[in-house]
Chain A
Amino acid sequence: MKTRSAIAVLTAAAAISAAGAVRAVHKTHQPDKRPGFERESFAGVFDTCSIKFDYSLTNGVLYRCRRWGDYFCNILLGYSPRNGGWDRWDFLHVYVKTPKGVVNALSHSMPALFTGYSAGGADFIAAEWEVEGSGRLKLRFATFPSHRGWLFLRVETGGAEVVRVVLSAHPGNAAVPEGRERHLATKERDWLLNTTSAEFAPASPSILLYSLYVDEKFGNKLVFSNDAVEKVKSRRTTSGVSVDCTPKKGAPALDFALGYFAHCDPSDQLTRFLGEDGDAVSAFLKSIKWNRTPDAGEFRLSVDIARQMGVDGASLDAAEKKFRAAAAAADIAAVAGCFEEVLTLRRERARAGLDEYSAPPAGRKPAETGRERRR
């Protein structure tokens, strides 16, 4: 039942999708190559990047990820040759505690809310998962015109109990060419991940993932709320690089900024990013007000269209009132519900109107329409 209502809310995403530059696209019943399977996806498309959660279903039920291809957590941010950059298949894991153990909440169930909105010049995707026996996991993705090329992420730890957040990347290239060195660098230290794993309590907020000798010119930047992170781990690797953050007890949220560099010399990036730019992004990250009031423009447009179509004014007035309250409370789920309500009114009005135009004129034998003839 919960899933059904969640889907109802999700449908609203399509409406909000039109807001400004951001859009959330929920696609159901997408084909899957495997017989008996279909796919369902939730995509958040910003002006400068996109994210997508893509699930397999069989008989209408989520098929929990067992092997590669069952689930994707995709990101397109920055350009790197040969699938390099933030992991295009599974860039984000958020592990939460459930009565049955620790699970990656993102692949364990589909989002209960997935919607996009603009607020105060920035674009947001709100994504929330119901975690069985734990609470609601809330993620907010955001882009800001002042920081093109960066995707900001907040993982709220207040609802579901977040154990770890893992971000994955293939700096430069997803292949494993001979002779390439994978590095993780902070202001304090540089780890050669080909030979050693990294584990540290973060003293500074910036991490640079880069390669040497092959794929040197492309890499990934990460800024995070290091005050809220107990420790960072990165396993030994020659291929994909992961940054595994364990939150400090009681930290209300973990904040991240995901960036990249392309066509640049890594030594230059090491100096600039770890020396200065990372701190500036960190300061910005700290200043972000995540609970902004969604802009009302798109909603008003929708209401205007509904009025033009002849939708009952009282229903629209009521919806507008609800929207104002939801927006003021920054209740994103309620905002999405208001969009859906007006959309439904529009759809119903269009259907009824077209039915009227389909009815035979009074006192006349109905004329045969083209559609009927084709039948």
Chain B
Amino acid sequence: MISDRPLSGGDFHPRLSGKYDIILAFSDDGLKAKGVVNMKKALFCKLSALFCAAAAVPAPGAMQCRFLHEMTGEVVTPHHDFRGSAAERPLKTLFLLDRGGGRDAVEAVQRFNVAPTYFLMVSGNRIAVEDMYESAWKGTTLHEKTRELDVKLGEKYDLYVFGRKWLTSVNEEHRYRILKAVHDEGAGLLLVSDTGTPRIPYRRVYAEKLPVPEFAAKFPREYEKTSLQGWRFGRGRVVELAWRCASGTPHFSLAPSFPVNDEWLAKYENAMALVGAAMRYAAGRDDTPSEPAVTRLRDRFNRKVADATCGGRYFRDVIGANGAVAVEEVVTASPVGGMYVEADEAVKPGTPFTVKAVWTNASPLVAAARFETVESPFGRVMTRRECPVAAGATEVSAEIADARISTKAGYARVTLLDRSGRALDIAEKTVFFPERRVGDYVQMGWDTVLAMHPFAGASILVDRLGFDLGLTHPSSGGGNIRAMAVLNQSSVPYMVRIGLGAAENGSSRQTMWFFLDREAAKRMKELEGDLCFYRPEVKRLWADGIRNRMRNLPKYAPAFYSLGDENWFSETAGFGEWDDRFFREFLKLRYGTIEALNRDWRTNCADFASVPHLRPETAKKIGNLAAWGDHRAYMEKMYADVHAFCRAEIRKLDPGAPVGAEGSVPGDLELTFERLEFWGPYSNLIEDEALRSLGGDRIRMLWWGGYPSSHGGRAYTPFPLPLMSDLAKGTVMGNAWFTVNVGSNHSMFYSDLKLADDVEGYLVWHDRFKNGLAQLLIRNPMKDDGVLLYWSHPSRSASFADGRYLSPYDGLARIIRHCYRTGRSFEFVSARTLGRLKNARTVFLCGATALSDAEVAVLRDFAADGGRLVADVEPAVLNDRLAPRGKGALTDLFGKNGSVMFGGRITLSEAKGGRAGEFESAIAGCMPAQRTYAPGARMHEDAVLRTRRGPGFDIVTAMWPVSAPGGKVDVTLTGGRFIYEPMVGFVGEAGKVVLDFSAAPFVCRTVFEVKQEAPDFEISGAAPGGEAVFRPPPLVPGRFLHLEITDAAGAVRRSVVFDRKENLPRRLFVGVDEPRGEWRAVLTDCATGLKTTKTMKVGK
């Protein structure tokens, strides 16, 4: 455990005097800045041992898990201590809590003298739930939880605390044991709830009501009806603390929820103080502070202050000699009556804006006004200036040239001062600095920083781990998106979910309309029966739904918008009245003339109006594959059009916003993503690679991480295997963790916000990826080996319609895996990207049975120019509308100029021949020669070797399956080269790259022709509130640099990865209240791991 390094890029919250020591339970080597090299060695030894152990046998059955059952108390948040000096026995307490809100109990324990035991439960009035995800973890079943509580209730406690749980959550036996302990042994029972607890169904509990304790009446209340009631029950007490606020979130079990702003911490502190006092009261301890008492004054920002002279709200903590505590609210009248601040709610970063303070009464005391811009959430003061105030004035304004705020929100704060500089009143306004930021390497969580203690979450999830994007449904009016911005997390609003099913009458219909407001939902119901998307009234519904969800969102600059996950459509839909009409419109566009349709359908229709709209089963039955394909294509077009329409509607309100969807069925992949900026497949080998190759710079990610029993995630090896593999292949450009929600069985956290043990194990890799390695892999293209795989969507459709047509996927999978193991690069080519054939040498036509005339012509030209075609089955026997051609349009090309047709499934060619070796040599024989970056020995069948071309260097990345540890392979080079490990350093000069997987299943090396130097740069010092001048070396896109600046105490102040002007840190401002001293700036060349360290003086 470490305590000498704050998590945030700074003091986190310097308003709290003294150290703001969020302490993470990461291992020492996980965070400490010093001894990095030794740390890495040590960690690798550990990892290596674990790797070998983990690789033995995949353990079946439920997995060990501490993060859902235990609380460590190792994450310490900033707080004020209420323990005083009383020599009391700690209050032995059993907390029974909703595990989503476990943090609250730790917060209480931090502040009070408590010896805690925790019993964590799932949400709802129950202790356990059993399903495929929950039950994958040990100890989560009803029986296991019952036994856990059986054992925990065997201990004697001073107090039982139910947080956001009712007594009836536990079974009758447990209830009786708890009530008996209260009744017979004098223990306390405290029930805390947000909306009030239902009465315990045992009337004697309420027989003897106690007067409301004196301390409770004085506590500051954010909710007027908050109540604390107690009853004597036998020798003990039953106490109910009901916050009487709106139903809160499961992420608070003992405290209510408050609006997220810079007064949150003080309100939370007060709430925790009341919880602590209520605990003492319930346990029968002294509840009135005795003299001599210690008092402390806090302002509304939770800062400890010496006096309450400035107008505003304060809180006086009283800690008695007997350990009892009380908090009283103190309100100091302002000499100016009252004050508020006016400023634009949203300001473009770096641009000037006006801040105006207006107060009620002119006061002769007012001499000046101090204008400050303060970063949210950590309270760094970035600018400060003072202006004189004219006598008798009731307002003052100032123009802020640049707020210098680098987070998404901050505060424009104005303090009125008297002649001696004493503060008279303070007011502020939250200002947002919307800037759409989607980095080269995106880190997104499902759920957000609001799914936990928000300020600790901002520090750990956003600042430390770098999950600066959160996917969530926007609340009505976008309140949660606003709160995320206040906590410096960008949002990915989940706008709609597209699911085109069939209505009873066969019409296509969207199945989920949660995004409509009440009025639109009523209209939708009136249209029920035919909700075909192309119907104008239905399009209006979609547009209104988008508008409803978009309210206020653009102000907070969402990173991008999601049109849903698991989007889908059904080809059995699309047969309503409106569908028929638009289907024929679609046919007109698709065929142009009725003659063309008649030719493909082998019909004799007079015009498009008389073309029958055949149901898929009918079309199949009569053998009209074209008619079957046309309906499927119609539904695919509708699916793509709904996405595109929603995108257009979003961009009307937020111009330029990236929009997409993820984890969804592709439809016609290229058509679907054509008008989107973001797409995530339902992951499979082929579509992941197709998206990489054909999707260009689209944001693409695959959820992984939390899944305890599926998706290849959470393997309990110390490696983030799915992420490593996807980055090595280049199929993702981000890290998407499902889910960051505390208390979820997919979570990355313990209930108390310590990182789950497996996630902690990932940290060394997580940091490497985030600090430049991932960017290197994402931004640099694969080397070009002239190998193309043909992507034919109609051919894939044909394989669904008729089993005689081989699926392209059958052959593609084998070819891709062959390329992975042999280190050959490949790209996809499709009807939309035929230009790629220009530089190709070999094209694999796997299952390419349905090709258009245009495709056929280009492929023929390619073959005529010496290109090689390799097919598994006869290509182009259908046209792209699935009409039979009679014979394959490319068949005559095979057997000439190296073009090969295997005449059957490539998959089985190995089976019937000499097994794997024969297959490898047969495929290798079709490939262009490979002089470099080929493995010197046969790789494991599931290994991946990918080589990228960077500017002036190559990047060799390889994965080896954990099930076969200890692999080692040499990769050929054409001569002596200088080899580096990205982010780590120089490996050596050699004529080959040695890929040794004994330490980790992922190996990455960069290869240079000449020896590299550490990057040179200049950085100036800066005065507090000033600016440091940073001069980087010449920037080369693709050659990433990581700049990390730490203060004299070793706390990271800035961390930025860049390779070009657009992502270069704009300006390096130093906050007014950031610590003085000698800071260190370390610039790392990510490709080589070579680094240069310089110092900079902060202070006058």
Contacts and interface: CB of A to CB of B under 8 A. Distances in A.
Interface of A: 14, 17-18, 23, 25, 45-50, 76-79, 148-149, 178-179, 212-213, 262-264, 301, 304-305, 308-310, 346-347, 349-351, 353-354, 356-361, 364, 366-371, 373
Contact of B154 (A45, A304, A310): A304
B908 A76 contact: no
- The 5 A-B pairs with the shortest beta carbon distances in the complex, nearest first, are A370-B199, A213-B911, A357-B202, A350-B176, A48-B61
A155 B456 CA distance: 57
B172 A350 contact: yes
A359 B911 CA distance: 78
Given A148-B59, A301-B150, A14 B143 contact: yes
B143 A357 contact: no
B1075 to A, nearest CB: 52
Given A79-B60, A309-B180, A371 B147 contact: no
B306 interface: no
Contacts of B141: 23, 25, 45
B60 A76 contact: yes
Interface in B145-204: 146-147, 150-151, 153-154, 172-173, 175-177, 179-180, 183, 198-204
Interface in B128-149: 138, 141, 143-144, 146-147
Contacts of A78: 60
Contact of B60 (A25, A77, A309): A77
Nearest to B207: A361
Contacts of A25: 141, 143
B172 A354 contact: yes
A201 B405 CA distance: 82
Interface in B892-911: 905, 907-908, 910-911
- The range of chain B's interface size is 35 or more
B236 to A, nearest CB: 12
B997 to A, nearest CB: 15
Interface centre among A48, A263, A347, A364 (most CB of B within 10 A): A263
A357 B206 contact: no
B612 interface: no
A49 B59 CA distance: 10
B58 interface: yes
14 contacts: A14-B143, A18-B143, A18-B146, A47-B138, A78-B60, A213-B910, A301-B150, A351-B172, A357-B204, A358-B201, A364-B207, A367-B206, A369-B201, A369-B203
Contacts of A353: 176, 179-180
B911 A179 contact: yes
B345 to A, nearest CB: 45
A357 B183 contact: yes
B973 interface: no
A49 B60 contact: yes
A17 B143 contact: yes
Contacts of A373: 199
A143 to B, nearest CB: 9
A47 B62 CA distance: 7
Given A354-B172, A361-B207, A47 B61 contact: yes
A346 B180 CA distance: 13
Interface centre among B141, B175, B176 (most CB of A within 10 A): B176
Given A213-B911, A353-B176, A263 B143 contact: no
Contacts of A301: 150-151, 154
Given A17-B143, A370-B201, A49 B61 contact: yes
B1024 interface: no
B660 interface: no
A148 B92 CA distance: 40
Contacts of A357: 179, 183, 202-205
Contacts of A14: 143
Interface in B867-910: 905, 907-908, 910
A13 to B, nearest CB: 10
Contacts of B151: 301
B961 interface: yes
B158 to A, nearest CB: 17
Interface string B194-237: 00001111111111000000000000000000000000000000
B61 A309 contact: no
B793 to A, nearest CB: 23
Contacts, number: 117
B295 interface: no
A280 B150 CA distance: 41
Given A49-B60, A148-B59, A212-B911, A367 B963 contact: no
Interface of B: 57-62, 138, 141, 143-144, 146-147, 150-151, 153-154, 172-173, 175-177, 179-180, 183, 198-207, 905, 907-908, 910-911, 961, 963
A50 B61 CA distance: 8
Nearest to B963: A263
Interface centre among B151, B153, B180, B206 (most CB of A within 10 A): B180
Given A361-B204, A369-B201, 12 more contacts: A48-B60, A148-B59, A213-B910, A301-B150, A305-B177, A309-B180, A350-B172, A350-B175, A354-B179, A357-B205, A369-B199, A371-B201
Nearest to B208: A361
Contacts of A351: 172
B204 A309 contact: no
Contacts of B207: 361, 364, 367
A76 B138 CA distance: 15
A149 B57 contact: yes
B201 A308 contact: no
A304 B201 CA distance: 27
Given A47-B62, A263-B963, A354-B179, A18 B203 contact: no
Nearest to B961: A263
A159 to B, nearest CB: 29
Nearest to A85: B60
A196 to B, nearest CB: 19
Contacts of B905: 179
Contacts of B908: 178-179, 213
Contacts of A212: 911
A79 B58 contact: yes
A308 B58 CA distance: 42
B202 A358 contact: yes
Nearest to B177: A309
Contacts of A47: 61-62, 138
A308 B177 contact: yes
A367 B150 CA distance: 31
A262 B58 contact: yes
B147 A18 contact: yes
Nearest to A46: B61
Contacts of A213: 908, 910-911
A367 B233 CA distance: 14
Interface centre among A17, A350, A357, A370 (most CB of B within 10 A): A357
A84 to B, nearest CB: 13
Contacts of B138: 47
B184 to A, nearest CB: 8
Nearest to B204: A357
Contact of B173 (A17, A18, A350, A368): A350
A48 B173 contact: no
A152 B41 CA distance: 43
Contacts of B143: 14, 17-18, 23, 25
Contacts of B176: 309, 349-350, 353-354
Interface centre among A45, A346, A351, A369 (most CB of B within 10 A): A369
A125 to B, nearest CB: 14
A262 to B, nearest CB: 6
A360 B58 contact: no
Contacts of A349: 176
A346 B173 contact: yes
B906 to A, nearest CB: 12
Nearest to A267: B915
A350 B60 CA distance: 38
A354 B202 contact: yes
B799 to A, nearest CB: 13
A306 to B, nearest CB: 10
